Chains A and B, each alone.
Chain A
């Protein structure tokens, strides 16, 4: 686990991973789709940023873009992605290859499809180590076995020779984590890593990730739709809706005193083990908009039950901005947000 001594010190207040005004547009047969529209966030070394959002919110696209894994044929990317001061959007493919799996690694949702069926688990873990560290095949294999042991695969020596389909779902995700951490990355992007797993296995994997983060010191971007998972994992939370960040803050701030109607809606619609059963859930009305023809102004306004309180047509005409510090992108005044949450939202949360 030795990391080159004298690694660059954490950069200034802008953080280790710094995304500024990211725009990702897909060209489709029906026209351009702006999957991410003006996204900015920071992540500090060794910290975890949770990105929450529903399908189509742009959370996965954002993270594929960070590693340059989008399809360049159909995607245009604008803005700035700085990893440790290095601009990634304009980086060459060779530079990105040196970065991927080495300084920045990724864990995907479904470990069955995300691991190649054609090669042994050991080989798939050893591969990036061989490439990035330039070690022999044998040394890389030994490292793979060591990593499998670390993520809790019993008999790692033998199991390294197995193919992914011979592993159970939980073990596959462990192997995936071993593969991502094999080069001791500074940044780990986990895209819904436990969504495909059973709840008891999910709990194991979340704990494992937290413990391994302690050991490896990686910063984690954790993408999920599950607020419970994010509460468990993250230091900071960013809530995304229809390609934009609508709220950002520490876990405590976002979950205990949320400031955006969409976050309120999410919290209210989520059944919990301790929620009050005498009242029905309070869903967010309607469905997320199509990104082909997104609503003008605030993208949440067609589903927002608080837009009358803003008054005028601001919600329809003017895009609410997300201030750089703790904030929510909503035209309600800070006072309104506070009172609405305390008086109307929190009592319903039971």
Chain B
């Protein structure tokens, strides 16, 4: 396996190209019907999986989408790759609206948008050789690369750090990390412009995860492929993405470039998320204290989300206005351009510890009180 992935200096070109939008999503909404009722079963409600999100991914840009389970990040990925059809809103790829495009209309675009899945075990057909898996997309799209498909497969295996002679092996002969490399090779086979990677490393062990993150980063930079990187791990997203959007219950609540989101977050939920990540303090000297925020309970049901701001039921700053009025996703004063926040009462732009921890969890509060008393 090729381990010493040498990253060339980021090409100057990507900086300029980054201004050109590749994927534009606006008002994207997906409701899944909930069936029930008596005597005749009918639709009695909707899971509001994705509810009116806007985002733009530029050419050769890596865009991260983070959030907890049920926030709609995976559904968003599936809507963009058109594995699902949106309820409303639009997805345009290079200016062409593909949100309701037919199979035929999608055909030329399909090769340019590829997907990488989470589970390296179930996403590869166990009865096909690696060569067949990787050349599958070429076959389906009737693409015959110069020098033949086998040569291309060898090239791709080489790119993803696998032995090109292994094209005749079956997926079960590879480890989890190697399988994920096969998934990457398959996604690269059609020279895509955009890769939607849905939790591509969360099933992998830490040491293997780093290998795959580096591979994706290398591919993204060297081949100039735009990535929509969907993950729940904030540190991995930070490492991979130039811009980041935070989702909560089907909505984007904050979006901006990496530094803005991680160092100067404004939305209380972003603060809570960042403070919840358990961190290793590696240095001997006392590092500046991080804020400690403990939210109450779990994420509410997307079938019946809270009115107004969806985060208000777990937010320490919530007021009446939050219940009656949905906060728009806007640039707050003092924020950099492109850093948008959907909050009526934003937090200070810092992740430093505060005078008092925010502990909303009643059980924790009670236990902490009793141990102090």
Chain A residues within 8 Å of B, Cβ to Cβ = 54-55, 150-154, 168-171, 174, 198-204, 206-208, 211-212, 214-215, 225-229, 231-232, 255-256, 265-275, 277, 280-288, 346, 349
Contacts and interface: CB of A to CB of B under 8 A. Distances in A.
Q: Tell me which of B207, B210, B217, B361 has the highest count of chain A C-beta atoms within 10 A of its own C-beta.
A: B207
Contacts of B1: 285-286
Nearest to B368: A211
B153 interface: no
A54 B206 CA distance: 7
Contacts of A266: 206-207
Contacts of A265: 207
A256 B286 CA distance: 12
Contacts of A215: 367, 370-371
Interface in B254-308: 258, 262, 272-284, 294-295, 297-299
B35 to A, nearest CB: 18
Interface stretch (B89-97, B231-239, B328-336): B231-239
Nearest to A151: B363
A267 B280 CA distance: 9
A200 B273 contact: yes
Contacts of B370: 215
- 4 residue pairs, one from A and one from B, having the closest CB atoms: A152-B363, A269-B210, A283-B210, A228-B278
Contacts of A229: 278
A270 B363 contact: no
A299 to B, nearest CB: 14
Contacts of B210: 268-271, 281-284
B206 A200 contact: no
Contact of B239 (A174, A227, A277, A288): A277
A277 B279 CA distance: 16
B7 A280 contact: yes
A208 B274 contact: no
A169 B277 contact: no
B280 A228 contact: yes
Given A211-B364, A215-B370, A280-B5, A273 B294 contact: no
Contacts of B272: 200
A198 B371 contact: no
A275 B210 CA distance: 13
A174 B294 CA distance: 15
A206 B235 CA distance: 19
B362 A206 contact: no
B77 interface: no
A174 B363 CA distance: 10
A170 B239 contact: no
Contact of A154 (B238, B273, B362): B362
Contacts of B213: 271, 281
Contacts of B278: 202-203, 206, 226, 228-229, 231-232
**Chain B residues touching A, majority SS:** helix
Contact of B232 (A55, A198, A204, A269): A198
A229 B277 CA distance: 8
Contacts of B284: 256
A284 B204 CA distance: 13
B367 A273 contact: no
Given A54-B206, A256-B284, A271-B210, A152 B362 contact: yes
A212 B368 CA distance: 10
B320 interface: no
A273 B235 contact: yes
A349 B282 contact: yes
A227 B277 CA distance: 11
A287 B208 CA distance: 7
A169 B232 CA distance: 16
A215 B177 CA distance: 42
B71 to A, nearest CB: 9
B238 A204 contact: no
A225 B208 CA distance: 12
Contacts of B177: 287
Contacts of A55: 205
Contact of A283 (B175, B214, B275, B294): B214
Given A150-B363, A171-B298, A271 B235 contact: yes
14 contacts: A151-B363, A169-B298, A199-B273, A203-B294, A204-B364, A208-B364, A232-B278, A232-B279, A271-B238, A273-B262, A275-B235, A283-B208, A283-B211, A287-B177
Q: Tell me which of B262, B278, B284 has the highest count of chain A C-beta atoms within 10 A of its own C-beta.
A: B278
A323 B176 CA distance: 33
A287 to B, nearest CB: 4
Contacts of B363: 150-153, 174, 208
B274 A273 contact: yes
B3 interface: yes
Nearest to A52: B206
Nearest to B235: A271
B178 interface: yes
Contacts of A281: 210, 213-214, 239
A211 B365 CA distance: 10
Contacts of B295: 200, 204
Nearest to A53: B205
B298 A269 contact: no
A346 B284 CA distance: 11
Contacts of B5: 280
B112 interface: no
B308 to A, nearest CB: 20
A228 B290 CA distance: 14
A286 B279 contact: no
Q: Tell me which of B175, B214, B281, B284 has the highest count of chain A C-beta atoms within 10 A of its own C-beta.
A: B281
B68 A200 contact: yes
Contacts of A170: 297-298
Contacts of B68: 198-201
A274 B177 CA distance: 25
Given A272-B279, A277-B238, 13 more contacts: A203-B294, A204-B295, A207-B361, A231-B279, A231-B280, A232-B279, A255-B280, A255-B281, A256-B283, A271-B233, A271-B236, A273-B235, A280-B218
B69 interface: yes
Contact of A200 (B3, B208, B276): B276
A199 B232 contact: yes
A269 B208 CA distance: 8
B361 A198 contact: no
A273 B362 CA distance: 28
Contacts of A283: 3, 207-211, 214
Interface string B344-373: 000000000000000001111011101100
